[in-house]
């Protein structure tokens, strides 16, 4: 992988570090970015927002975008730079995030490290969608949280969770106001345990009540996970 996640860390190349350096070079002054979320190593982002403060007006930002894309890695692309209100925060102002996890059933070299290859029989999508109803609502998702996290609490409000059949296999889509560290990968891993008949529907419901990470399945690999959407209130874009 080209990057070891979003967040700056010693002895590893991160997206944040690379973007900070590019911005500082183009703007000719130090710039520090804060993202909507700290994606893990191997996880992709089809949409990501990050904010930075500027002491001077940037004017027409299109030349800045072109310059950034000229010096960034081939697998980072800046689409747009725009002004937001003074108290806007890329992470804390967001009210919804969406992730998807892709699984394919046949060998496909073009999906290598973009989707999880599942060589067992097709997953029971209808049954898995029945279980998805147990994820909906404001709940404690400790059972899907990686231990050692620094969150003040483990309550998330999941508004949508669904397995969708695709031309290649299946896709899991989940939306919530926030996600815990490793949460989506742990949920997918647990669904795969159910799809392999290693756990039952009642086991799945029981682990949600347990708040015990040890009862959930192993985390699914990161490379098939995508951050696909981040939503903000209109007030973030009202700065006059």
- Catalytic residue, candidates 40, 53, 167, 203: 40
Segment 114-131 mean pLDDT: 95
**Per-residue pLDDT tens over the stretch 128-170:** 999 999 999 999 999 999 875 566 788 999 999 999 999 999 9
Give me the residues paired with residue 165 across strands: 170
Give pLDDT, residue 37.
86
Q: CA 103 to CA 164: how far, in whole Å? A: 10
pLDDT above 90: residue 102? yes
Q: CA 91 to CA 64: how far, in whole Å? A: 23
Give pLDDT, residue 148.
59
Q: What domains are defined for the chain? A: 15-91 (3.30.70.580), 96-229 (3.30.70.660)
pLDDT above 70: residue 1? no
Segment 187-212 mean pLDDT: 94
pLDDT above 90: residue 73? no
Give percent of the chain with pLDDT exceeding 90. 74
Active-site annotation holds for 234: no
Q: CA 196 to CA 21: how far, in whole Å? A: 45
Q: pLDDT band for position 56 (50/70/90)? A: confident
Give pLDDT, residue 240.
57
Label residue 77 exposed, middle or buried (CB < 10 Å: 0-12, 13-18, 19+): exposed
């Amino acid at each position: 992988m080209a990057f070891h996640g979003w967040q700056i860390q010693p002895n590893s190349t991160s997206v944040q570090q690379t973007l900070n350096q590019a911005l500082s070079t183009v703007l000719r002054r130090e710039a520090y970015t804060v993202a909507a979320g700290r994606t893990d190593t191997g996880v992709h982002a089809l949409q990501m927002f990050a904010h930075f403060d500027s002491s001077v007006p940037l004017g027409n930002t299109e030349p800045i975008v072109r310059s950034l894309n000229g010096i960034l890695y081939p697998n980072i692309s800046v689409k747009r730079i725009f002004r937001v209100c003074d108290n806007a925060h890329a992470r804390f102002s967001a009210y919804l995030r969406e992730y998807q996890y892709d699984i394919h059933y046949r060998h496909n070299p073009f999906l290598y490290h973009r989707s999880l290859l599942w060589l067992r029989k097709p997953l029971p999508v209808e049954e898995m969608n029945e279980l998805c109803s147990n994820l909906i609502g404001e709940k404690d998702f400790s059972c899907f949280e990686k231990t050692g996290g620094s969150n003040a609490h483990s309550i998330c409000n999941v508004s949508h969770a669904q397995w969708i059949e695709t031309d290649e296999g299946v896709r899991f889509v989940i939306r919530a106001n926030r996600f815990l560290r490793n949460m989506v990968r742990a949920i997918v891993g647990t669904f795969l345990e159910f799809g392999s008949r290693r756990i039952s529907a009642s086991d799945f419901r029981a682990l949600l009540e347990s708040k015990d990470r040890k009862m959930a399945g192993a985390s699914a690999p990161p490379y098939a996970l995508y951050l696909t959407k981040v939503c903000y209130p209109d007030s973030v874009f009202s700065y006059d």
